[in-house]
Amino acid sequence: MSDVVLINPNINIVDKEKDHYSVLDHLGLGLVAASLERSGISVEIIDGYALNLSKEVLIEKALRAKPSFVGITCNFIGFEDAIDIARNIASVDNNPFIFMGGEHCTYSADEILANYHFVDAIVRGEGEITSVELINNFNILSNVAGIYYRDQKSGKVFKNPDRKAIDNLDDIPFARRDTLDYCKTHKETSIIGMLTQRGCNLDCHFCNAHTFFRLGGGKFIRRRSPQNIADEIEILHEKYYRFNMIEKMYFYDANFIDGSRQSKQWAQELAHEIIKRNIIIPFEVYMRGDSVSPEHDQELIDILKKAGLSSVFIGIESFDQNDLNVFGKKIETDNMERTINFLIENDIFGLTQGLIMFNPYSTFQGLRRTADFLLKYNLASFWNMSQKLQLFPGVKLISKLSSEGLLDNKINSNEVYSYKFQSQSIEKMSNYLIAMNDNPIVINDNAIMRYVRGAVPELYKSVSDFPDIIKLLHPINLLINKKIKEINELNHSYFVNIISSYESGVPQDKIDKYKSEYLSSSDKSVRDLDNLYNDMLRTVDKSLSEKIINNKVAETI
């Protein structure tokens, strides 16, 4: 039995083998659980996504814990399931108090409480202190800052003032890592999340990072001390990484280095602390396209790499200046290219990057420009070229679109694509491409491409002590790179063809024919790529087996 159950619904059940599934823990729930526990409140985390649980299993587990409170988080994709879970849990006798939290629920709080009578409260913004106060002051919720709630007797909804941002992030206890404990028992590995800072000092028009963590005021950016972060990494290293249970860490900070002197100095101190304690775990960070520059930051990148920085995810969004202006990015494409080239030279430009190909103001010219840049940087995957702006509740762009008549009558805030385009042809094209993402061939091709690109460097790392094996892999690797380039070219040429087709009003049956041709070529190329990767795997297996046999023979002699 637990006082509180915290739930993260699954997005969809995956075949772990086939989908190259990596376990990924839910940092937000781990942080809230740690704060509740520190206040003497017992908590069970049921992370449906990390553990690949069905909705039914998840509900059964939650009810078995007989909690007094159930907290559910979700993003727009998991929203319907989250509501269904809440409905089921609320329907039992002596039903628990149900609250929801996280970014999506924060900005949809009015709507959720108005439409779903079984949800009792929404925790808005940072959840650590608010959740503890909610539970400890359950009978007088009017005193709890940071919640919207339904009065249990009258059913009336009240909106309490938002909570001021937590001043010192070092005061927050380290996140509970239930997923890693699960991995320990089940001999699996996990990718884990970390927050080393909160907030962002920019206000891009499609993003809530600059408001979510400080709804009730407070500093735009708060950073944990390098010592505090290193203390947490040290525990993770000692307890899990040493036993090969952590694949890597994602630093979820909105913008790991914001370009300021303080930010760079802080990052440098953090790197020194990690190196000094010898607690290196590979980590990936998010940055803007102008956060670092070749002129000023080589030393910083060198030390961060020594501390484990393995990859940088840039919020590129688009290579068209008009699009970037629509997004309020306050960045020039030239600066972005300089940063990207700098990261490539340092071998830390991530395989996946943030892209928003289509937005309500897209032009054919802008789409072509972005597609050409994607090809140049080997990022021309079908997935990237079909991505469409997701209009999250709370973002600035909503009022602009609304005032310009481009917003559909949004019924639910989780319908993030319910807007119109200025150009009807581009809208049709965007809908056509996004629907293709449900095609099994596209799903499979995207998964294999992503997997192979990530797995080859890992395979190289695993045999880094054997130069003879690396020599054997080299010719296969050249073929793999050639094939990846070919696939990018194929995707790009299909995309450019589709642009021209919609621009010149080519009939739909012809467009469908292009699709069939493209899918069959793409499928063949991706299967070739998969075969090449399997050749590589077989080469490694065979070489390692031979080494083991030779060693045994040598020992016997």
Q: Of 88 and 255, which has the nearer Cβ to ligand SF4?
A: 255
Q: Of 119 and 395, which has the nearer Cβ to ligand SF4?
A: 395
We find the least distance from the C-beta atom of residue 203 to ligand SF4, in angstroms, to be 6
Q: Of 291 and 386, which has the nearer Cβ to ligand SF4?
A: 291
Q: Of 78 and 315, which has the nearer Cβ to ligand SF4?
A: 315
> Token digits for 18?
């086939």
| Cα–Cα nearest to 367, from 352, 344, 384 | 384
> Token digits for 195?
């927050």
Interacting residues with ligand SF4 (CB under 6 A)? 200, 202-204, 207, 209-210, 254-255, 288, 315
We find the least distance from the C-beta atom of residue 469 to ligand SF4, in angstroms, to be 41
Burial status of residue 376 (CB atoms within 10 A of its CB: 0-12, 13-18, 19 or more): middle
Q: Of 308 and 315, which has the nearer Cβ to ligand SF4?
A: 315
> Token digits for 13?
């059940």
We find the least distance from the C-beta atom of residue 297 to ligand SF4, in angstroms, to be 17
We find the least distance from the C-beta atom of residue 321 to ligand SF4, in angstroms, to be 16
Distance of CA 202 to the CA centre of its chain: 20
Q: Would you say 388 and 417 are in contact if contact means Cβ atoms under 8 Å apart?
A: yes
We find the least distance from the C-beta atom of residue 336 to ligand SF4, in angstroms, to be 12
| Cα–Cα nearest to 221, from 252, 254, 194, 192 | 254
Three-class secondary structure of residue 488 per DSSP: helix
We find the least distance from the C-beta atom of residue 370 to ligand SF4, in angstroms, to be 17
Q: State the DSSP H helix or E strand holding residue 133, giving kind and residue range, or none if neither.
A: helix 128-136
We find the least distance from the C-beta atom of residue 210 to ligand SF4, in angstroms, to be 5
Q: Of 83 and 207, which has the nearer Cβ to ligand SF4?
A: 207
Q: What is the 8-class DSSP label of residue 162?
A: P
Q: Of 259 and 454, which has the nearer Cβ to ligand SF4?
A: 259
Q: Would you say 130 and 32 are in contact if contact means Cβ atoms under 8 Å apart?
A: no
We find the least distance from the C-beta atom of residue 255 to ligand SF4, in angstroms, to be 5
Distance CA 15, CA 13 (A): 7
Q: Of 27 and 135, which has the nearer Cβ to ligand SF4?
A: 27
We find the least distance from the C-beta atom of residue 324 to ligand SF4, in angstroms, to be 11
| Cα–Cα nearest to 244, from 190, 204, 289 | 190
Q: Which residue has the tokens 């108005």?
A: 114
We find the least distance from the C-beta atom of residue 133 to ligand SF4, in angstroms, to be 28
Q: In the chain, what is the straight-line distance between the N-terminal and C-terminal CA atoms, in Å?
A: 60
We find the least distance from the C-beta atom of residue 288 to ligand SF4, in angstroms, to be 5
| Cα–Cα nearest to 252, from 54, 514, 24 | 24
Q: Of 250 and 518, which has the nearer Cβ to ligand SF4?
A: 250
Three-class secondary structure of residue 224 per DSSP: coil
Backbone angles phi, psi at 285, to 5 degrees: -130, 160
Q: Of 197 and 255, which has the nearer Cβ to ligand SF4?
A: 255
> Token digits for 494?
């299909």
Q: Of 79 and 327, which has the nearer Cβ to ligand SF4?
A: 327
Q: Of 97 and 392, which has the nearer Cβ to ligand SF4?
A: 392
Distance CA 184, CA 534 (A): 29
**One-character DSSP codes across 354-397:** EE--B-TT--HHHHHHHHHHHHHTT---HHHHH-B----TT-TH
What sections of 195-260 are H helices per DSSP? Answer: 209-212, 226-239
We find the least distance from the C-beta atom of residue 261 to ligand SF4, in angstroms, to be 18
Distance CA 494, CA 520 (A): 12
We find the least distance from the C-beta atom of residue 145 to ligand SF4, in angstroms, to be 24
Q: Give the other-Cβ count within 10 Å of 416's Cβ.
A: 19
Enumerate the β-bridge partners of residue 286. 313
Three-class secondary structure of residue 288 per DSSP: coil
Q: Give the other-Cβ count within 10 Å of 1's Cβ.
A: 9
We find the least distance from the C-beta atom of residue 441 to ligand SF4, in angstroms, to be 32
Q: Of 48 and 315, which has the nearer Cβ to ligand SF4?
A: 315
Q: Looking at the chain, how many residues does it have?
A: 557
> Token digits for 388?
């469409």
**Between β-strands 147-150 and 121-123, what pairing exists: parallel, antiparallel or unpaired?**
antiparallel
Sequence-distant (6+) residues with CB within 8 A of 199 are 165, 209, 210, 213, 214, 219, 220, 221, 222, 254
Q: Of 204 and 536, which has the nearer Cβ to ligand SF4?
A: 204
